[in-house]
Structure 1
Amino acid sequence: MDRLHPTSLHQLPSDIAVPRYERDALRAGIVHLGVGAFQRAHLAVVTEAALHATNDLRWGIVGVSLRQADTRDALRPQAGLYTVAIRDAGEDGAPRETLQVVGNLLDVLVAPEDPEAVLQRIAHADTRIVSLTVTEKGYCHDPATHALRWDHPDIVHDLAHAAAPRSAVGMLVRGLQRRKARGLGSVTLLSLDNLPANGHTLRGLVLAFADKVDADLAAWIVAACTFPNSMVDRIVPRTTAADRERISARLGVRDAWPVLGEPFLDWVVEDRFAAGRPDWAAGGARFVDEAAPYETLKLRMVNGTHSALAYLGAMAGLATVDRAIAEPLLRGYIDALMREEIAPTLPPLPQLDLDAYRARLLQRYANPALQHQTRQIAMDGSQKLPQRLLGSVRDRLNADQPIERLALAVAAWLHYLRGVDEAGRAHEIQDPLAGALAEAMAQADQASQGVADAQAAERRRVEVFTRLTPLFGDLAAQPRFVAAVARGTQALRERGVFGTLQALC
């Protein structure tokens, strides 16, 4: 089978969308750190729509892989072309799929192999936007305080090795340092990660690092760069070998790395761009003066419930999100969690029908065509819980309101950290703080030994574990929080997921 390539586009079936602009004339106006499935199914798709709508060819994308060469190795023989498969189910429940070949990814650089090439691209005259999807852990910060971790090995390395940075923050600052030295113009730094006030957070981290390097550089960044906040939303499951085979068969040529996505796509972004931007509105982006309310909505309603569903579902042996939400007890819990404990913490969004939003979200979770793995969502919990769940917990505690369902979601994470589901199947704890979490668990277990009363022992266990201040901050000192999480962990251990949910109802 031939490879997907510009020279093979004419072979594709007529119902598959392909680039209609003059691809050879594209210039790389966007550098994207963390080129992966989400970026290719979200930012690149919206950019493709802008290119088709305006034919403004300044907005090609150069992707940067921060760790591995697999994306580069798959896509470079295809000249950057890849397929986006949008999957849902028809009224009969059968999966259906529409395909689009995206053409705006011009190259993929691999930072560990050639950090110089990444710095040169950030400092290139064509570059107007540097965007990021590096996940929460990629910011090398404390999730509870949003402060840069000066003891992080990558940050320590990047301060000492200007020409070969490893972290996203280090690459940005060292690239901007070259940009300043060359007398180049302004650039926008755009976070697309699930962080509260992601633009403000990125700005704080970049300026903190830059100030350590050179105070004049930090001042130049303040004057020359903007950091818009944004909210992104699309479920993008991991591509499997079966997906590659199915999509390639439909194309009639081999695509080494297609991506999957749901039909739903949302992007709310502050319209503060230092050197222009594509007409992303053509692809569904919404430009606002302030993105914070939308960020809070998405982090708490979507990401918070996604994590809760993933931990409970994974421990109950439910491999995918659609399987989990199909269980009436889990669906009822997630619905009540949103309605009763999360929704009251949200900022005003006058134009939003929150009941319709909640119903649509449950419908998205039920999409059987995505096969989104609960264990994939369960990764990196230490980096996710502070913004997905603990912000809602704090707001509820401050309002003296119940937190039983939120606390159960936190307890489900602790339950998952056992590393074995309720059927005895082992799973790996994939988390940048895996070692610290295991140590905290051991200390908590030890501290609870010898406490005769089972409930008191569980409270002691949770109290000790929640002293992990980078995650929980001051919540360890909140007796209501500790007691509620302890009730959840004890119930999950003694009754299992479904027994716990039955009692909660």
Structure 2
Amino acid sequence: MGVSLTQESLAAVRHEVGVPSYDRRGLRPGILHIGLGNFHRSHMATYLDRLFEQGQAHDWAIIGSGVMPADVLMRRRLRPQDWLFTVVDLEPGAMSARVVGAMVDFVPVASAAIVEALADPRVRIVSLTITEGGYFLDASTGRFDSDHPRIRADAADPARPRTVFGMMVKALAERRAKGQPPFTVLSCDNLPGNGDVTRRSVVGLAELIDNDLAGWIRREVTFPNSMVDCITPPTTARERALVSRRFGIEDAAPVVCEPFRQWVVEDRFCAGRPPLEKVGVEFVDDVSTYEKMKLRILNAGHASIAYAAALLGYRHVHRAIADADIRDWLLALQKREIMPALEEVEGVAYPAYLARILERFGNAEIGDTVSRLCANGSTRQPKFILPAIRDALARGLPVEGLALELALWCCYCRVAGKTSQVPALSDPLSVRLRAGAREAVRDPRAFLEIHEVFNDLADSQKLQGAFARWLDIIDGQDARAAIRRYVAKG
């Protein structure tokens, strides 16, 4: 048995494990984070912990919160540990661990408690990791869905909100009524224009409740866009056992992640911010070029290998990327169709950025799974692949490889879970995707006409033709033959 993780037991933790040297009793809250999962803890919490180690910004500690069952479980696991958790950086051949102490509380998972915490004037930043699907977006337009039943319910009864955005609107109304300043809302989700998306959701709900309040929020609250990056797999019994065996810590909720981290944020904070630039965060005027780089190279890279890897029977990402055909397919798609359409980012060479991503994908210590990359394609493809297709079509650029990616996804949806070799389909539109993929055997348009995903892209004759040709090749031969043919086209 290792050391049970608590504030009192930190002195007994092995010397090779980093622990907070700052006095956690002197920390004061400044950030309330909604959706306290693994990514937040490997990313924002770790950056803040590093800052606190420098003796900086001790009035910016984190309060956790959330509205989902997973948040209830996380709170239950972290409370006996005094909100401490272990973060393990999975550097190949040089694994390291640190106990992160940046969190000082976790409010009960209840609307009234969360609103009370949001209304506390000490909270100057409200950050979010609620997943791409948590923003109440209309799938066909990408805009805020003001007709969503849960949004309508909050608008009808704003005193008892049930959504994250309803809680924020109520807390902002209370602050305004008391003459208190608002907070910044900082999305850390993997969404294009995540700050703009969050602003539309908060203001959109406020407009259904009180136009004057909506105007105040529009004028006074800031919603900076940000780009976040750190591959962080889920925690299972495997990770808990690793922390116990390798580092001698009994931690109910450790985090394992790659050692790479990047965070680029627009410097717009209405109530101040911690000086995170001291620990490597980049503050910029406009994050869009950084964001597009990451979404189109890293995230689209994950998407492009996911379905090929699944169809070829791979379970882990590092094994898939070691397959020369999959690696060559990813490189060819990026160099021919994705990177040529990107604007330059100052100080970044795209070939070097791509090479680093391939190294990260090949990190066997992470144990990242193909099934994770395949999940929720109906929300991920419209963020990572479809915008690249739209850009290419608008500029008259080729879409052959992008169409092949869609064909691989279609074929995966058709066979997912039918054997133990291919991961099961995990998607909010799974029934619709399966039906469209099966019908595509007869009529390829049937998959592209899933309006919730593709909207008007089904009308593109150029995309239709390429998609149909690749389906024929995959169905007539297999996925390997298709990606080899694309690579061989040169």
Q: TM-score, normalised by structure 2?
A: 0.94
Distance 1:423 1:380 in 2: 19
Q: Unaligned regions of 5+ residues in structure 1, if any?
A: 91-95, 449-456
Distance 2:228 2:266 in 1: 12
Which SS does the other structure have where 1:282 is aligned? helix
Higher mean C-alpha deviation, range 79-88 or range 409-418? 409-418
Look up the match of 2:96. 98
Look up the match of 2:461. 479
Look up the match of 1:40. 41
Identity across aligned pairs (percent)? 37
Look up the match of 1:502. 484
* 1:281 partnered with 2:277: yes
Q: What amino acid is the match of 1:38?
A: F
Asked whether the equivalents of residues 416 and 425 of structure 2 are also in contact (C-alpha less than 8 Å), the reply is no
Distance 2:474 2:463 in 1: 17
Asked whether the equivalents of residues 33 and 65 of structure 2 are also in contact (C-alpha less than 8 Å), the reply is yes
Look up the match of 2:392. 396
Distance 2:220 2:417 in 1: 51
Q: How many residues align?
A: 484
Distance 1:252 1:407 in 2: 49
Which SS does the other structure have where 1:317 is aligned? coil
Shift of 1:322: 0.4
Which SS does the other structure have where 2:4 is aligned? coil
CA RMSD, 1 decimal: 1.9
- 1:148-189: CA deviation from partner (whole Å, max 9, x where unpaired): 223434323322343443333333223322322332213110
Q: What amino acid is the match of 1:102?
A: V
Shift of 1:223: 2.2
- 1:414-461: CA deviation from partner (whole Å, max 9, x where unpaired): 22212536856464322223344345456x45xx6xxxxxxxx4xx33
Higher mean C-alpha deviation, range 239-248 or range 169-178? 169-178
Look up the match of 2:115. 119
From the superposition, tell whether residues 163 and 104 of structure 1 become closer, same or farther in structure 2 (CA, over 3 Å): farther
Of the three residues 274, 286, 297, the one matched with 2:293 is 297
Shift of 1:336: 1.1
From the superposition, tell whether residues 272 and 471 of structure 1 become closer, same or farther in structure 2 (CA, over 3 Å): same
Asked whether the equivalents of residues 314 and 421 of structure 1 are also in contact (C-alpha less than 8 Å), the reply is no
Q: Unaligned regions of 5+ residues in structure 2, if any?
A: none
Look up the match of 1:160. 156
Higher mean C-alpha deviation, range 220-229 or range 164-173? 164-173
* 1:71 partnered with 2:65: no
Distance 1:182 1:489 in 2: 61
Which SS does the other structure have where 2:477 is aligned? helix
Look up the match of 1:469. 451
Of the three residues 233, 249, 256, the one matched with 2:252 is 256
- 1:281-336: CA deviation from partner (whole Å, max 9, x where unpaired): 12211011100000100111111111121222122211111011000000001011
From the superposition, tell whether residues 409 and 422 of structure 1 become closer, same or farther in structure 2 (CA, over 3 Å): farther
1:267-278 correspondence runs (5 A): 267-278=263-274
Distance 2:41 2:139 in 1: 26
Asked whether the equivalents of residues 410 and 485 of structure 1 are also in contact (C-alpha less than 8 Å), the reply is yes
Asked whether the equivalents of residues 141 and 148 of structure 1 are also in contact (C-alpha less than 8 Å), the reply is yes
Q: What amino acid is the match of 2:460?
A: Q
1:399-478 correspondence runs (5 A): 399-420=395-416, 425=421, 427-438=423-434, 440-441=436-437, 444=439, 457=442, 460-461=443-444, 463-478=445-460
- 1:382-435: CA deviation from partner (whole Å, max 9, x where unpaired): 111112011111111122221111111122222221253685646432222334
Asked whether the equivalents of residues 310 and 423 of structure 2 are also in contact (C-alpha less than 8 Å), the reply is no
Which SS does the other structure have where 2:251 is aligned? coil
- 1:191-232: CA deviation from partner (whole Å, max 9, x where unpaired): 111111111111112111110111011111122210111101
1:196-211 correspondence runs (5 A): 196-211=192-207
Which SS does the other structure have where 1:7 is aligned? coil
Distance 1:3 1:181 in 2: 45
Which SS does the other structure have where 1:31 is aligned? strand
Asked whether the equivalents of residues 139 and 168 of structure 1 are also in contact (C-alpha less than 8 Å), the reply is no
Which SS does the other structure have where 1:417 is aligned? helix
